[in-house]
């Protein structure tokens, strides 16, 4: 049986060749992440097309997550072997230069205008800490080193006390978005979300392009944590991006924020990804630390839909092995513990989706009560797959669709397996066909109970309004 919690892995120099990508897919990967913070458009297009090629060759439904950089602040290139000493003064300038321990380029034009004396600068995920001592409000900021260390090229900059004036979608993001939509990716990652308006802006741009791509809102700023419920009402999925989040808020707050976001995502039937430093040791080592094993296991126990690898697969030495290791951890946890959401989940709000939501809820309950082997859902938007998965039934969740984008997109959702089906001639014929499909795939056997949900009449592809319990012949 396939793992229910999914694996997202970032592609990069270590993993963007076809041979490695195929090996990663076979090792248990579900979603390829393409990080638009690095690389050029030609490289990204090639990578995305390789992912689609692999789907065709292996008969898989792997999704692509195009992760936009957002207003990520970075320093420029730095000379080799630069070490910042405590008490030293480092100047940040918008003038391009090769950085050293006295001066670095900052890619943020309004930096000198936005910051104030006394505010803090964190570099390289908080490894370096500086305190601003001077700004000319034009093009130069000086800061004293409070916590020193190695200064490296193109490292991220966090300003936990500063309100930055950059929009959530930068001109670079808009250009990157065009590429991602042209290449028909299934998921778009939105970085440094602050509120629901940021998410809605991206969704409107996607809608204007008539694209079915879904949005993953990356929660990595304190403003987003405060506005989480409004964000979840408009987004399609969320990511707990612990790297920047752990710098922007006190690090000791991150574990409880993670658990809170997972619970809220279950409530709103939105997939949630746990990301950053899951198996960081495996960048250079074949073996993870016990703390990392615990971290992956606890993320699965919390009810995450997916866990994500970043540097481990993009620049690490063992991109395939780390996926194999993560898959083993997930498999063991799921074989041992039945993860259930911390709420009943019965629909109470009488909205346009009330009937569908009620059917998905009851399908999950009935499947558990009857020890059904599978819940089968005919879906044209993926909505029922999201809903059923949010209830975390113990059985298999099988989505059948004629939409190939949806086929790949649901690969991110907990417990969902998807298959292509496009006949829709009659209800009886459709049910007979899909039972044969899942029997041939080894998901069910003769005598197994299954729960079917669909819209009636089936040819109209309307709102889900039917639930049927049957036995496989």
Instruction: Decide which of 374 and 125 is more confident.
Output: 374
Class of domain 354-471 as given by CATH: alpha beta
For the segment 419-453, what is each residue's pLDDT rounded down to a tens digit? 999 877 666 788 888 888 999 989 999 999 999 99
User: What are the start-end ranges of the H helices in 59-195?
Assistant: 111-114, 171-182
Q: What is the rounded average pLDDT of the residues 187-194? A: 96
Helices and strands (DSSP H and E) totals, the chain:
16, 22
Instruction: Decide which of 72 and 176 is more confident.
Output: 176
Instruction: Decide which of 334 and 109 is more confident.
Output: 334
The b/e string for 316-352 (b: 16+ C-beta within 10 A; e otherwise) is bebbbbbbebbbebbbebbeeeebebeeebebeeeee
Residue with tokens 């090769």: 98
Per the structure block, which two tokens stand in for 98? 């090769």
Q: What is the rounded average pLDDT of the residues 380-394? A: 94
Task: Give pTM, 2 decimals.
Answer: 0.92
Q: Residues 395, 374: contact at Cβ < 8 Å?
A: yes
Q: Does domain 6-71+168-335 have CATH number 1.20.1630.10?
A: no
Q: Where are the domains of the chain?
A: 6-71+168-335, 73-158, 354-471
Residues 6+ apart with CB under 8 A from 121: 92, 115, 129, 130, 131, 132, 143, 157, 158, 159
DSSP 187-254: EEEETT--SHHHHHHHHHHHHHTT---EEEEEE-SHHHHHTHHHHHHH-SEEEEEHHHHHHHS-GGGH
Residue 137 confidence (pLDDT) above 90? yes
What pLDDT does residue 348 have?
75
Calpha distance 406→236 (Å, rounded)? 13
Instruction: Decide which of 320 and 340 is more confident.
Output: 320
Class of domain 73-158 as given by CATH: mainly beta
Mean pLDDT of the chain: 94
Calpha distance 177→191 (Å, rounded)? 12
What pLDDT does residue 201 have?
97
Q: Which pLDDT band holds residue 458 (cuts at 50, 70, 90)?
A: low
The b/e string for 439-466 (b: 16+ C-beta within 10 A; e otherwise) is beeebbeeebbbbbbbbeebeeeeebee
What pLDDT does residue 426 have?
67
Q: Are strands 89-93 and 103-105 parallel, antiparallel or unpaired?
A: parallel
């Amino acid at each position: 049986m396939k793992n229910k919690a999914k694996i997202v892995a970032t592609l990069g120099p270590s993993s963007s060749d076809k041979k490695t990508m195929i090996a990663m897919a076979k090792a248990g990967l579900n979603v390829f992440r393409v990080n638009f913070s690095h690389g050029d458009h030609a490289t990204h297009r090639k990578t995305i097309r390789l992912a689609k090629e692999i789907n065709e060759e292996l008969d898989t439904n792997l999704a692509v997550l195009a992760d936009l950089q957002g207003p990520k602040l970075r320093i420029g290139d730095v000379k080799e072997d630069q070490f910042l000493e405590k008490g030293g003064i480092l100047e940040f300038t918008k003038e391009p230069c090769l950085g050293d321990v006295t001066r670095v380029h900052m890619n943020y034009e309004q930096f000198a205008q936005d910051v104030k004396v006394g505010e803090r600068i964190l570099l390289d995920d908080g490894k370096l800490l500086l305190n601003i001592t001077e700004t000319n409000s034009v093009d130069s900021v000086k800061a004293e080193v409070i916590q020193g260390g190695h200064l490296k090229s193109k490292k991220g900059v966090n300003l936990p006390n500063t309100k930055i004036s950059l929009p959530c979608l930068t001109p670079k993001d808009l250009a990157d978005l065009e590429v991602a939509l042209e290449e028909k990716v299934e998921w778009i990652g939105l970085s440094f979300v602050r509120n629901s308006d940021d998410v809605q802006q991206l969704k409107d741009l996607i809608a204007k392009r008539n694209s079915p791509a879904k949005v993953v809102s990356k929660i990595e700023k304190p403003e987003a944590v405060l506005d989480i419920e409004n964000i979840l009402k408009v987004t399609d999925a969320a990511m707990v991006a612990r790297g920047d989040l752990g710098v922007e808020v006190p690090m000791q707050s991150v574990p409880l924020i993670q658990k809170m976001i997972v619970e809220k995502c279950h409530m709103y039937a939105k997939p949630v990804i746990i990301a950053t430093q899951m198996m960081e040791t495996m960048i250079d080592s074949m073996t993870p630390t016990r703390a990392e094993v615990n971290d992956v296991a606890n993320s699965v126990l919390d009810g995450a839909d997916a866990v994500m690898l970043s540097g481990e697969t993009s620049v690490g030495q063992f991109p395939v092995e780390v996926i194999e290791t993560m898959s083993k951890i997930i498999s063991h946890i799921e074989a041992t513990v039945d993860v259930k959401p911390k709420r009943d989940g019965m629909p109470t709000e009488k909205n346009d989706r009330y009937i569908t939501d009620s059917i998905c809820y009851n399908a999950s309950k009935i499947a558990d009560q009857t020890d059904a082997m599978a819940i089968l859902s005919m879906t044209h938007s993926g909505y029922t797959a999201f809903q059923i998965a949010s209830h975390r039934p113990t059985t298999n969740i099988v989505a059948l669709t004629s939409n190939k984008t949806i086929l790949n997109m649901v690969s991110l959702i907990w417990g969902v397996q998807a298959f292509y089906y496009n006949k829709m001639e009659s209800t009886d014929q459709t049910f007979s066909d899909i039972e044969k499909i899942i029997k041939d795939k080894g998901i069910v056997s003769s005598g197994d109970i299954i729960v079917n949900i669909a819209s009636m009449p089936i040819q109209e592809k309307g709102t889900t309004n039917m639930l049927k319990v049957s036995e496989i012949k």
